[in-house]
Amino acid sequence: MGELNGRRADLHGCLTKMAVEPGLSGAPASYALRAGNGELDLNVRLGQRLTLEWTGAIACTHCGRPTRKSFAQGYCYPCFKTLAQCDTCIVKPELCHFFEGTCREPEWGERHCFQPHVIYLANSSGLKVGITRRTQVPTRWLDQGAIQALPILEVDTRQQAGFVEVLFKEQVADRTNWRAMLKGEVDRLDLRAERDRLLDQLASGLSNLRERFGEEAIRTLDAPPVELNYPVHEFPRKIVSHNFDKRRDVAGILMGIKGQYLLFDTGVINLRKFTGYEVMVS
């Protein structure tokens, strides 16, 4: 496994997004910290001291080459500039340029963008709208730290999902206030009522999109709201952020995990931000 300051490390390697599975029957989600080829069960480490130390090395999560700086959460600069998954249209799907013949990787686009996507409402720090591939439900909601979520529409492509999201953003936010999310200061919402209100307000815009893409291309869903819980012993009263670029070691009593954040008694860290960073964990 390697050693950390003379102690045997429990895990050693480059960070990737934490693995997360929803809890059953209202139980908290289950998290595993992933580094290199190994995983560390985090739920069992709650209430215990946990140390992560960055070695100073960063590797691109796509090609594996060393890089002095991570771009777009884990890529070297050449991959950042050439991969379709790093293009602007991933963040703003309505800007998809596949049909213009200028997609960076047409085969990748066909696999990832031309499949069913879900438009959803979530409550992570208040009401927000979002989109995700159907196969990423409910992982996407857990990664955002949502305590409630409700799928409302399904479309055939990522671009269509982008157009629908743009429409909804006229009425509701698409961002999470991560500080409020981590403090646990989130009131529960009636997501069904919010859905009905928004669908009524945006009926004309949705009708226009259906005329453009076809009546069956944008389908209304009648799914139940989903409740999500997280393994948190205590939420922080004040948010202090840890940053490997400023200090190589992050340590403290692990008080909780929510979204892609570790909550220590000494502060919080967004592990997804440091994808590709080589760490020793003990």
The 10s digit of each residue's pLDDT in 70-112 is 999 999 999 999 999 999 999 999 999 999 999 999 999 999 9
Residue 41's SS3 state is: strand
The model's pTM is 0.94
User: Both 259 and 181 in a single domain?
Assistant: no
User: Both 125 and 215 in a single domain?
Assistant: yes
In-domain check, residue 247: yes
User: Which of these three, 181, 206, 227, is where a domain ends?
Assistant: 227
Residue 208 pLDDT > 60: yes
User: Both 129 and 46 in a single domain?
Assistant: no
Backbone torsion region of residue 31, taken as left when φ is above 0, otherwise alpha when ψ lies between -120 and 50, otherwise beta: beta
User: Both 48 and 145 in a single domain?
Assistant: no
How do residues 143-184 score in pLDDT, each as one tens digit? 999 999 999 999 999 999 999 999 999 999 999 999 999 999
User: Which of these three, 227, 248, 265, is where a domain ends?
Assistant: 227
- Closest by CA to 253, choosing from 270, 273, 236, is 236
User: Both 120 and 198 in a single domain?
Assistant: yes
Range of the domain at 197: 115-227
In-domain check, residue 52: yes
Confidence band of 7 (pLDDT split at 50, 70, 90): low
Structural domain tally of the chain?
2
Q: How far apart are CA 270 and CA 260, in angstroms?
A: 6
